[in-house]
Amino acid sequence: MELVRACILRIEGTNCEDETFSAFKNAGMHPELVHLKQLTGDAEPRRSLEDYDCLMIPGGFSSGDYVRAGAIFAARIKSKLMNDVIDLLERGGLIVGICNGFQVLVELGLLPGLDDLVTDEPQMALHTNDSNRFECRLTLLRHELEEGESPFTSRIEKGAILRIPSAHAEGKIVFPEEFQDEYLEKMRENRQIVFRYVNPDGERGGYPWNPNGSIEDIAGITNQRGDVFGMMPHPERVFHAYNDPMRKRGEIKAYGDGKAIFDSIFEYLSSRK
Ligand SMILES: NC(=O)CC[C@H](N)C(=O)O
């Protein structure tokens, strides 16, 4: 079977690329750590997004979160790489952004990607958490889609509650006030809302279960086309079970709840080979 090649993109300040690389590799894919400068011809060995099936932007503090988290990383992509990014999607590839990567995809305008709604303004933003603090702890995510519905979570049943850690300062999903209801309705219709923060009963519980104050407790979304996905929590940190603090004492399990996302991506991309 042909390799499923994933570009794990980084710049200065990215700090989750290694565990993201490991998650892609352990899920059967062929990941490569690539610096943005290798894709823009400013560093050797040169690379091209044409050679990848998946573009993954991992977590971290790219460019020190100056201006806004993800803003500078996005500006550098937008200035030199946007055509290659769109070509990857047109070829049937997938794009994933986790935490800082999600912030980059929102800054690029790829999320929420409400294609039939064109506005001059960004369609969404990730603001500073309501607590005004960096929130770092386990979070519980309820899967809002059907099993098999999204290429990013096809292995996860509807209503499943996943234990996936969060660690961020700017994770609050907000929409432009005048479009908020319209956009949320569109996103519900388009099945773009993938995960919501919940309490242990699986209900929407507000803070601290929702660490940032995101509207409707939204934790992860796709674009309207369904080929770009972003989430604030870090599934790569719980690919293996050892990092799952809520694992019952004595419970022997090899993998954490994050593995299903990487397995879903592999299943989708390998089925296209
Ligand atoms: N873990 C991360 O990727 C953090 C993202 C960003 N630096 C923030 O604090 O919001």
Span from the CA of 102 to the centroid of ligand 1 (angstroms): 9
Mean pLDDT for 240-249 is 79
- pLDDT attached to residue 137: 94
Separation of alpha carbons 92 and 252, rounded Å: 38
Residue 265 φ/ψ region, left for φ over 0, alpha for ψ in the -120 to 50 degree band, beta for the rest:
alpha
234 is catalytic: yes
pLDDT of residue 228 exceeding 90: yes
The catalytic residue among 7, 16, 54, 99 is: 99
Residue 1 Cα to ligand 1 midpoint, Å, equals: 36
List, in order, residues 6 or more apart from 178 with CB less than 8 Å away: none
Our measurement of the distance from residue 58's CA atom to the centroid of its chain's CA atoms, rounded to an integer in Å, reads 8
For ligand 1, atom 3, the nearest C-alpha belongs to: 59
| 261 pLDDT above the threshold of 50 | yes
Rounded CA separation 9/260 (Å): 21
Q: Are 193 and 183 in contact (CB under 8 A)?
A: no
Q: Could you report the per-residue pLDDT of 107-161, keeping only the tens digit for each?
A: 999 999 997 654 567 899 999 999 999 999 999 999 999 999 999 999 999 999 9
**Residue 143 annotated as catalytic:** no
Q: Looking at ligand 1, which residue's alpha carbon is closest to its atom 7? A: 61
- As a 3-state breakdown, the chain gives helix, strand, coil percent values, each rounded to 5, of 30, 25, 45
* Cα 60 to ligand 1 centre (Å): 5
pLDDT at 115: 77
Quote the strand ranges of 18-68, DSSP E. 30-35, 54-57
With H, G, I as helix, E, B as strand and everything else as coil, classify residue 91. coil
User: What is the pLDDT, as a whole number, of residue 116?
Assistant: 65
The confidence score (pLDDT) of residue 238 equals: 96
Domains within the chain, CATH numbers bracketed: 5-271 (3.40.50.880)
How far away, in angstroms, is 96 Cα from ligand 1 center? 15
pLDDT, residue 117, reads: 58
Quote the longest CA-to-CA distance of the chain: 54
* Dist. CA 166–CA 136, nearest whole Å: 5
**Residue pair 196/217 in contact by the 8 Å Cβ criterion:** yes
Query: Could you give the percent of the chain with pLDDT greater than 90?
Result: 90
pLDDT at 2: 87
pLDDT tens-digit profile of 203-226? 998 999 999 999 999 999 999 999
As a whole number of angstroms, the distance between CA 266 and CA 96 comes to 12
Mutational test site, ligand 1, from 16, 61, 131, 214, max ligand atoms within 8 Å of CB: 61
Q: What is the pLDDT of residues 46-99, one digit of tens each?
A: 999 999 999 999 999 999 999 999 999 999 999 999 999 999 999 999 999 999
Ligand 1 pocket by Cβ (under 6 Å):
59-61, 65, 69, 99-100, 134, 167-171
Residue 177 has pLDDT above 60, yes or no: yes
- pLDDT, residue 118, reads 47
Expressed in angstroms and rounded, the spacing between residue 124 Cα and the centre of ligand 1 is: 17
Instruction: Give nearest CA residue, ligand 1 atom 5.
Output: 100
Three-class SS of 86-145: HHHHHCCCEEEEECHHHHHHHHHCCCCCCCCCCCCCCCCEEECCCCCCCEEEEEEEEECC
Q: Looking at the predicted structure, is the pLDDT value of residue 249 above 80?
A: no
Q: Judging by beta carbons within 10 Å of its beta carbon (0-12, 13-18, 19+), is residue 151 exposed, middle or buried?
A: buried
Measured from the Cα of 58, ligand 1's closest atom is: 3
Q: Is 99 a catalytic residue?
A: yes
pLDDT tens, residue by residue, 13-30: 999 999 999 999 999 999
Which tokens belong to 69? 């988290």
33-51 mean pLDDT: 98
